[in-house]
Amino acid sequence: MTETWHKHDMDFLGGRRLRRSRRTAWSRAMVRESVLTPADLIWPLFVIEGHNEKTQIRTMPGVERLSVDLCVEAAKAARDAGIPALALFPNTPDHLRSQNGAEAYNPDNLMCRALSAIKSAVPEIGLIADVALDEYSSDGQDGLVRDGEVLNDETVAVMIKSALVQSKAGADIIAPSDMMDGRVAAIREALDGEGFEQTQIMAYAAKYASFYYGPFREAVGTGSRLVGDKRTYQMDYANSDEAMREIEQDIAEGADSVMVKPGLPYLDIVRRAKDSFNIPIYAYQVSGEYAMIEMAAAAGAINRDGAILESLYAFKRAGANGVLTYYALEVARQLGK
């Protein structure tokens, strides 16, 4: 005999109806657990040579590489929208790339000129400088290579010099993205020794050897020149406990904040990190994630604007203090309305 469900059968639940609080927009807003504001967003910018120059990135519809003067204008727009910081990535001209990555510590390199110009024109916005050799090397690797092996300590020595010229140019946060062992401690010691005690370090502490980086490598000009892969230093995507050890080590070495990269496929790492460590946790919504949203929307498979916001709220729900996202300016302006 089939029993009939009646309203009075709710009595055993104490009259609870969880849908009540979801019935209206104002009520949903009242009980919303995660909040997204412009201050949660960091905007990555790709920098190129030239004046009033912008170039399209084939696999990242809507994202452009910008010359230094246009990066300054972008920084003003970000400031006005309430975005607290920019993350800069240079597309170094081919003739300046080399096996030893020496352009990384040229005080007049593209990155340093961009940092200086933005800091001079928009001093109130934070500047995050990427420190790795892939943007300067001829082989696309994040470190120096000898006989097919990516060298750890020799790479760290070059990164120290790169971090110092970036700090002198105006970087507020040094962000080593290479995953070499010991680089956070070495950079911290060097910064302190040169009078940059106030310069922060945002460590790419859990950076995975991911297939989601393809469009980024096109954007900075490393994809076509990459020799081999990065699995000997970036993390195995099958591992989670290892990420906690990496994060713990970077904190012990002096990191002020840590990053998980990529973002959405690694929300479990964000959550574990937030639960385990009392330090700001950031996530990078990487180029492949951006491309998937854009291309799915263009195909009519998803609602673009809804998917963007849903993805960013996922980072906040998982515990991220902030998100590096190519949608930063668009979303910040939308949130500010």
Q: Would you give the end-to-end CA distance of the chain in angstroms?
A: 57
Is 316 catalytic? The answer is: no
Contacts of 300 (CB under 8 A, 6+ apart): none
State yes or no: cis peptide before 176, omega within 30 of 0. Answer: no
Dihedrals phi, psi of 61, to nearest 5 degrees:
-55, 130
Among residues 119, 161, 168, 261, the one annotated as catalytic is: 261
Q: How far is CA 180 from CA 142, 144, 153, 259, in A?
A: 9, 11, 8, 15
Burial class (CB in 10 A: 0-12, 13-18, 19+), 319: middle
> What are the strands, taking DSSP E only, across 163-220?
173-176, 200-207
Q: What angle do CA 70, 116, 179 make, to 5 degrees?
A: 95
Dihedrals phi, psi of 200, to nearest 5 degrees:
-85, 160
Neighbours of 77 (CB within 10 A): 14
Contacts of 205 (CB under 8 A, 6+ apart): 243, 246, 247, 249, 250, 251, 255, 258, 259, 260
Radius of gyration of the chain (CA): 22
Is 54 catalytic? The answer is: no
| Secondary structure class of 323 (helix, strand, coil) | strand
**H or E stretch at 22:** none
Encoding tokens for residue 159? 């990164």
| Secondary structure class of 89 (helix, strand, coil) | strand
Among residues 119, 207, 230, 316, the one annotated as catalytic is: 207
Burial class (CB in 10 A: 0-12, 13-18, 19+), 5: exposed
Distance from C-alpha of 281 to C-alpha of 271, rounded to nearest angstrom: 9
Residues taking part in catalysis = 207, 261
